[in-house]
Structure 1
Amino acid sequence: MAGPKTAVEWLASVAPDPEACRWEWERNPLGVALLPAGRAWDVLILPGGLGYPTLDVLTRILARPGPVLVDITDSRTGFLVPPGTAARWVGTGIRTAGAGSWVVVPHPVRSAGGVRWLVPPDGSGTLTDPARLELAMHEAAAGLARGGGD
């Protein structure tokens, strides 16, 4: 029986050609690959102003949340959640990437381009539970409403 997957193997496993994905990560100067959502994970994309506070809440209540991406301008934060979540998600201002969507994904260890990991995958397949993510978003939004009256 095979041992646990590395983060590279876990992410590349969703690619149509995993070997080509690994090659792309090694050769692309930005260190990114385009991967299909909806196979091993979906992505819930929060506006940056809500993403960081939500991650702060999650890291207080979980030993380790699932992988979290952020774009170069910190304007969007993507939480990897179980497949199928995007199809069921209803939330104002939250974008989703599920089956049929493609996501720019940086190398899990050394990202150099416009997208980077705030919480890199560890290869175990750990994802953020959507119910906990929703509760964390509510707590973060409430905190922003209390403190953000500028």
Structure 2
Amino acid sequence: MDARGAVAWLVAAAPDPEACRWEWERSTSGIALLPAGQLWDVLIVPGELGRLTADVLLRLTAEPGPVLADFGDFRFGFFVPPGTAAHWVATGVRTAGAGTWLAVPYPGRSGRGLRWLVPPDGSGTLTDPVVLELAMHEAAVLLVSGTDEV
């Protein structure tokens, strides 16, 4: 992971990128609030389904987009192209798109309740929504079958 590139990519979404970077790098929490909907949207998948989806996604593609997880693995956030949230329909999946803000930990550090499962690579790579949907379907089958082996 290129931490500097990842930081530059993430703060580019902020209304004032330099002020955001300055505060983020000096913050004791290691968390920044960044607006979704410009450079990326986030699909937030709950618990076990989110964990299995991340496992399947990592098997399906060598370069997924960034994935956030909270420390309890209660929620997983998959970074997808902007506009995806406005059209995503799935029971139990929350979306963060235009008009929403997301708490994001500094790349390479964990923040209060948040960590990067797949950190941003600095290039702007995002998860293809079609591939994510396939991973979610496969994860759901694993949950229903009672196995969590991918």
TM-score calculated relative to the size of structure 2: 0.92
Counterpart for residue 146 of structure 1: 145
In 1, Cα distance between equivalents of 2:26 and 2:137: 40
1:108-127 deviation per Cα after TM superposition (whole angstroms, max 9, x unaligned): 12223221100000111000
Aligned partner of 1:137 in structure 2 is 136
Name the residue aligned to 1:6.
Answer: 5
Aligned residues: 144
Q: Write the distance in 1 (CA, Å) between the matches of 2:76 and 2:111.
A: 17
Shift of 1:73: 2.1
Structure 2 Cα separation of the partners of residues 77 and 111 of structure 1: 14
SS at match of 1:14: coil
Please report how far the alpha carbon of residue 33 of structure 1 lies from its aligned counterpart in structure 2 after TM superposition: 0.3
What letter corresponds to residue 103 of structure 2 in structure 1?
A: V
The residue matched to 1:6 in structure 2 has which SS? helix
CA distance in 1, matches of 2:111, 2:92: 28
Once the two structures are superposed, residues 15-39 of structure 1 have per-residue CA deviations (whole angstroms, 9 ceiling, x without a partner) of 0111111112212111010000000
**Aligned-CA RMSD value:** 1.1
Which structure 2 segments of 5+ residues have no match? none
Shift of 1:72: 2.6
The residue type equivalent to 1:133 in the other structure is: L
Unaligned runs of at least 5 residues, structure 1 = none
1:22 equivalent to 2:2? Answer no
Misfit runs of 4+, over 4 Å: none
* Sequence identity (%): 69
CA–CA separation in structure 2 for the residues paired with 1:61 and 1:114: 27
